[in-house]
């Protein structure tokens, strides 16, 4: 296990990214883990909901999320109980707000053994990359993303609307949780040199030496780790294999960066955010969205 960890750190330092197959990740984190833990973990993606912008409007409704922050000291949550704020990397291309409000992970997820062990593993990776044991001023932003595409309802299936981008962090990790009804070639992850332009890549870029890697996360917990300051990354759209049904892709991502003050809302509801309470706007929006989803399911 130690050997795999050291080899991963070395590869990360040399190539700026490393791909670790799901079965190896399981071995690395297998202390006290069984298949029931994975099943209960994947159920958490059912509670993802669209993030909102600074005006409390949903952003990317097809890309639902849960976000919470965790610190290396005792591996515990450092953000609020109900909502989390994300500041998007300022180099990102797009016309959406750079300030986002996400639904937080349910509190019981904090003790999920798989999530806990993956965080410990990634904090160890960070120590290796920075060559120090002192990472107490860092934190890991843990995100569940569910991207859905349904051709019949014209749903957008792009997990990366921003195209080529960076995450304003030191280490980014992307783990597959579930691919349901996806064509084999869809949702391809790409790693680019810093010379690649931000935004959607073009066909000419794909034959250039700016493209360092492209591949698809196929099996549960297949994990791509990259050094965000040294490379850029991108993911392509999902496509349903069976065109009559929805395609769904669930991923778990981590962005590890220096601790930020993400609990304070710059908008009118800052007092609520300071107390870790959900903003009234988001609570209402999420309630409406959940009720609509429930109605849709019952109607089937």
Contact footprint for Fe ion (CB under 5 A): 167
Q: Which residue number, 150 or 175, has a Cβ lying nearer to Fe ion?
A: 175
Minimum gap (Å) between residue 284 Cβ and Fe ion: 29
Q: Which residue number, 177 or 285, has a Cβ lying nearer to Fe ion?
A: 177
Minimum gap (Å) between residue 47 Cβ and Fe ion: 22
Written as six digits, the tokens of 180 are 């349901």
Minimum gap (Å) between residue 167 Cβ and Fe ion: 4
Minimum gap (Å) between residue 231 Cβ and Fe ion: 11
Minimum gap (Å) between residue 173 Cβ and Fe ion: 10
Instruction: Return the closest-CA partner of residue 26 out of 38, 15, 18.
Output: 38
d(CA 231, CA 106) in angstroms, rounded, equals 32
Q: Which residue number, 255 or 265, has a Cβ lying nearer to Fe ion?
A: 255
Minimum gap (Å) between residue 119 Cβ and Fe ion: 18
DSSP structure string for 118-166: HHHHHHHHHHHHHT-S--TTEEEEEEEEEEEE-GGGT----S-TT-BB-
Q: Which residue number, 20 or 235, has a Cβ lying nearer to Fe ion?
A: 235
Beta strands 171-180; 247-258: pairing state:
antiparallel
- Give the angle 214-148-52 at the CA atoms, nearest 5°: 100
Q: Which residue number, 93 or 291, has a Cβ lying nearer to Fe ion?
A: 93
Residue nearest to Fe ion (CB): 167
d(CA 256, CA 120) in angstroms, rounded, equals 12
Written as six digits, the tokens of 190 are 């790409």
Exposure on the CB side of residue 89, measured as CA atoms within 13 A: 21
How many residues belong to the chain? 300
Greatest alpha-carbon span in the chain: 55
Q: Which residue number, 167 or 265, has a Cβ lying nearer to Fe ion?
A: 167
């Amino acid at each position: 296990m130690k050997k795999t960890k050291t080899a991963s750190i070395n590869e990360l330092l040399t190539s700026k990214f490393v791909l670790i197959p799901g079965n190896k990740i399981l071995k690395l984190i297998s202390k006290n883990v069984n298949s029931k833990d994975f099943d209960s973990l994947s159920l958490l993606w059912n509670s993802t909901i669209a993030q909102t912008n600074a005006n409390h409007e949903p952003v990317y409704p097809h890309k639902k999320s849960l976000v919470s922050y965790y610190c290396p000291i005792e591996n515990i949550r450092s953000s609020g109980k109900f909502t989390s704020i994300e500041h998007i990397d300022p180099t990102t291309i797009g016309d959406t707000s750079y300030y986002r409000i996400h639904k937080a992970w349910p509190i019981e997820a904090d003790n999920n053994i798989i999530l806990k062990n993956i965080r410990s593993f990634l904090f160890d990776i960070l120590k290796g990359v920075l060559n120090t044991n002192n990472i107490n001023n860092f934190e890991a932003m843990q995100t569940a993303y569910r991207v859905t595409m349904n051709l019949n309802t014209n749903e957008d299936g792009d997990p990366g609307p921003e195209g080529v981008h960076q995450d304003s962090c030191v280490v980014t990790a992307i783990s597959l949780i579930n691919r349901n009804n996806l064509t084999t070639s869809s949702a391809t992850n790409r790693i680019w040199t810093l010379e690649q332009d931000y935004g959607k890549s073009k066909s000419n870029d794909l034959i250039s030496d700016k493209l360092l890697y492209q591949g698809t996360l196929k099996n549960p917990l297949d994990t791509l780790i990259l050094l965000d300051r040294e490379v850029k990354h991108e993911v392509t759209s999902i496509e349903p294999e069976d065109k009559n049904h929805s395609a769904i892709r669930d991923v778990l991502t981590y962005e590890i960066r220096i601790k930020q003050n993400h609990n304070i809302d710059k908008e009118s509801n800052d007092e609520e955010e300071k107390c870790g309470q959900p903003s009234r706007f988001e609570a209402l929006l999420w309630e409406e969205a959940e009720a609509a989803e429930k109605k849709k399911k019952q109607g089937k």
